[in-house]
Amino acid sequence: MIRWWRDVAPDIAQPALDHHYLTIHLGGAKRVRRRGEGRDEVVDIPSGALSIVPAGSAYHWNTLGPVEFAHLYLAPGLLDRVRVEEVGLHASASLENRLGVRDPLLQALFMTILEGITAPATPRLYLDTLLHSLILRLLCGYASAPSAALKLRHSLAPAKLRRVLDFIEVNLANDISLADLAAVATSSPFHFSRAFAAVTGSPPYAYVLNRRIEQAKILLVSGQISVGAIAAQCGFHSAAQLSRMFKRATGHSPLHYRP
């Protein structure tokens, strides 16, 4: 879950929570004072920097400067499950307590998720894949017992891969989620995403998008139905979304493929 705050009070008392959360500081540079858990920290934070707050931590926050931030809440069980499935470690994943981290990859993933949930008709598979990548980045860089020796287990049997590819072809018109594909492969979403990419060379979202574009090309060349109808048959929410994604993928508008 994500929450986005703007123009709230500069003094915030944050109680202990039963989940971790990742904060992205927005709106411009600021000075943040964070007191609690035996610490009193004052940090000058640029826009886009992040703070990591483990579950069970309580703080008082004071911001001097623009008060705008977003929180991404992560259940401890979710991180533990990813750690078991991807890393093979069964110990709980305890996140480091950090204020004002500058991590371009985490920032880019967080901002893309934030933009995705505020944009109309963002595919679930796209958001699932971004969240998966963000969690892995946290586990690799900011968890206790760092996973420097991270060795992800990539395996997807040919029969399972065939079932997944067939499912995608049959459901191109539907809003496919990462959980849907993982269920077909009888795998966890997090393990499936990595395994699929390792076998096919593309993340699930990129593969599905490519298949939708290719199907749209076939329908466009036939010249028998409207662009709007083609968009619906290929899993796009509107003709405008089809045109945007089509041009991004091919460099041409859909009408370029009309006979």
Same domain for 123 and 242? no
Structural domain span for residue 176: 154-259
Looking at the domain assignment, is residue 148 inside a domain?
A: no
Same domain for 12 and 126? yes
Rg of the Cα atoms in the chain: 21
Same domain for 130 and 177? no
Q: For residue 175, give the nearest of 219, 236, 117 by alpha carbon.
A: 236
State the sign of the Cα–Cα–Cα–Cα dihedral 4, 30, 146, 58.
negative
CATH number reported for the structural domain that contains residue 165 in this entry: 1.10.10.60
Looking at the domain assignment, is residue 57 inside a domain?
A: yes
Q: What is the side-by-side strand order in the sheet with 59-64?
A: 11-14, 59-64, 30-36, 39-45
Q: What is the pLDDT of residues 80-122, one digit of tens each?
A: 777 776 655 555 667 889 999 888 888 899 999 988 888 777 8
pTM beyond 0.75: no
Q: What is the pLDDT of residues 183-226, one digit of tens each?
A: 999 888 877 888 888 778 788 888 898 889 888 888 888 877 88
CA 192 vs CA 33, 44, 159, 242: distances in Å: 41, 40, 14, 27
Residue finishing a domain among 103, 118, 142? 142
Looking at the domain assignment, is residue 191 inside a domain?
A: yes
Same domain for 162 and 220? yes
Residue finishing a domain among 98, 115, 142? 142
Which pLDDT score is estimated for 184?
93
CATH number reported for the structural domain that contains residue 35 in this entry: 2.60.120.280
Residue finishing a domain among 142, 163, 181? 142
Same domain for 107 and 36? yes
